[in-house]
Structure 1
Amino acid sequence: MSPATLIPLDAVPASFRGAVLAIGNFDGMHRGHHALFEAARQHADRLGVPALMLTFEPHPRTVLRPQEPFFRLTPLTAKARLAGAFGLAGVVVANFDAAFSQMSAEAFVADILVQRLGISAVVVGHDFLFGHDRLGSPAYLEQEGPRHGFAVHVVGAVTDAFGAPFSATAIRGSLEIGDIAGANRDLGYRWFVTGTVQHGDKRGRELGYPTANVRLPADCGLALGIYAVTLTRADGTVLAAVASYGKRPTFDNGAVLLEVHVFDFAGDLYGEEVAVTFFAYLRGEERFASIEALIEQMDRDSLAARAILASAGEGSGLDRRIAATMVARTLPIS
């Protein structure tokens, strides 16, 4: 299974015209979004056309409220992997800037949906709003779709067992307190991050715990601490690991870094694009009085992580499909 192709809005191939299009920010691509992707794929299969996703980059929140920190759950590369796992052929990326934010709902429909994409159908959530001052709505699309020759499918609210709608905000809150189980439950898959393995200070090697170091975006709000994880290599190999996300208070208390110790591995990962998937939060970050005390705790953390990963299994069908979509096929995003 391949990732969906990332496609700039201004460079959509002719082969993707006439697609069924799911639209949204889709940060998290959580269980509330899954119904939209499934609906888009089903309608596309029935019509014999591609199923695509239209999303916005950067996230509109960072443009409209730049002064407020914003913890993004799924950057573009992650969206491509997830979209591929849902059977979508491509992720169309609209450059969201100040000018785009002023586009009217009428122009969005006429210019983007009709002229640039030539869609056959659109799939949106019941609460989807778009256009300047958010004047566009599902009702507006249902009004305009027949006039422009495309069908409109509106997906109702998707809720958890307690009747609460799934929410990216709630998932961020779970990750910020280390509630990996809660976040993964609402996502419908195990949360993962991607990045390039870089050289560090080699201190982990001296401690008997060499690490693959990945610097995550500054906006990452994940709780500092120790996690049971897997590391997926560019060739799809999945390796069991334990990870520290933090500032290394026993040493330099420096910049936040994700340091992944892969069990029973002696290869070279430098420069490799990897995915790190989170299974469980083990403990918060601590400052130890001695190196010996730190190593003893690292030994305990490793045993705990091994036990968790050994009993976790492969996860859901979606988890297995995601694992097969490591490297995104990308057209340049300007």
Structure 2
Amino acid sequence: MELSGTILAGEDYEPVDGRVIVEDGEITAIEEAETASTDIICPAFVNAHTHIGDSIAKEAGRGLSLEELVAPPGGLKHRLLADASREELVESMERSLQFMESGGTTAFLEFREGGVEGVEALLDAAGSRDIEPVVFGREETEVIEVADGYGASGAHDSDFSEERRAAERADKPFAIHAGEVDQHDINPALDLDPNFLVHMVHAEEIHLERVQDSDTPVVVCPRSNLVTDAGLPPVEKLLERTTVALGTDNVMLNSPSMFREMEFTAKLFDVSAPEVLRMATAAGAEIAGLNCGVIEPGREARLVVFDGDSDNLCDNHDPVRSVVRRAGVDDVKNVILP
């Protein structure tokens, strides 16, 4: 397979006119050449934090606090999940995954409620699609046997030491929410030596130093944090210290659109377009242990091809900035996934 156009190549996403050569699902070469194609070839996105299980409850809970919405076990989302049938949950998740895939998301890191049954339901929903789930199970420790790792709700809710040890015994990653409501659960979360943290809205200098010293990646979800009135993460300070990836968080509150998350992040924080694109691609892939997110030989060919002559993207002077700040599903010409 050959894809021609403007290639957002390498770890710096430098625009290069030419061809991407793909063989057996792997990028084998990038050839610089003159081309008449106006396509923009970009790495596919990795959504680094989702709650796709909440697809059954879109826009529920208006006016409720974050705790009333999502805190286990009595938050609204948990009640709605308990009331829905398995068939309803799977169908709703399938629709969200279809939407994500059509927008160029190649993989997602899911914190999945419902224990073993919850993980199995999500895997059923993803079974007919090309998008790859990386599932962090929750609740009972046994969920680690069927999940890719364990995703803890936060040190406010429990100690999670046993879950951390179980993940280590299984040689699987352990991740945890931290600093979403306040700063008090960040040090206890870091004490668990997680593979990555989620949110870090209320991180203070001492926490940032610990993140840097331990080289702990962080996933930020700015739209979700704003919607729930949690605040905004210190994205610029985090980027100075560690790997930072983007997630869309709870489908109950936000569409799982990496386009919206990138645009919001690029326009709200003092970060460059290539930095934001890395947060939406290579950083999430790195956290998930996937060989994608960068267009270079030896990487998996997980790619999004944009119509650079669409009404939205035509006459653009900066392809990277255009993808990050203005592109959308309607501009997607093709999605190449394994």
| Same topology, TM > 0.5 | no
TM-score range, shorter-chain basis?
under 0.3
TM-score calculated relative to the size of structure 1: 0.26
TM-score calculated relative to the size of structure 2: 0.26
